[in-house]
Structure 1
Amino acid sequence: EELVVVGDGRPIGVVTPKDALELVLPKKGEIAIHIAHMGDEDDRRDIEDHLTKFVKKIQGQIRDLQNVVVYADKHRTRKYSVRCRLITGKGVINAHAVGFDPISAVKELIRKLDRQVKAEHTQKVKQRKKQRGTPRRG
């Protein structure tokens, strides 16, 4: 349950499971991007860079975004498939894309996510206006 840290043959500290979780989990206000199944480190960094820019762009539209989980797979057909889940406090937004390289696949994925986020944001704005009783023009 606890790990004793030893230095020079003497105990110098204790690490608990809570300590380990605090190191791994994102800090409040940070959004964690998890990428699974991508072996190539350069491709992983490129995917993470594209998604980080996208997340910064949509933060005004989705205020309670908590995590981004991405699964990238290379298939025998030499195509890449990329699946993504944007996890919010109110639900999950899913998208899937395929490309001949990981970057083209993630760009298509971002286009799909962007359309979904915009659609949800537009729906929320309409609901708020309806709740306020805003008169319609026209």
Structure 2
Amino acid sequence: MPYTPREAVEKTGFSLDTLRYYERIGLLDSVERNAGGQRVFTDDDLNWLAILRCLRDTGMPIARMLRYAELARGGDATFAARAELLEEHDREIEIKIAALRDEQVRIREKIRWYRVAPVLDLERAPATSVGVHD
């Protein structure tokens, strides 16, 4: 099924400028055009864009995305290299998730402190200053 650029934008979440950029740098190739010169996206294009969205959203640099695209264009002979590239990216994601979990612990400790601190202040505060807290 063919999709207009607007439909491709709606379905992928990418902006039209991003789609043009991806096409210009070679991440998105062979996008068909209609008789009027307008891009026409296929289901295959949208599936490829979904993969690119995943890679981008998980922090893969453009240069590595380009390498992945190059490998994908190489056909079945590049399966091992693609798997290796994705495994490396997966390891990097695991490291980022672990770091975020560590930071989340700090944030949750601070939240607990903010939930307990006003109660402690009220218990210690003189009767005349109740309600005056930062």
- Structure with the higher strand share, 1 or 2: 1
TM-score range, shorter chain: 0.3 to 0.5
TM-score scaled to structure 1, two decimals? 0.33
> What TM-score do you get using the length of structure 2 for normalisation?
0.34
Q: Which is greater in Rg?
A: 2
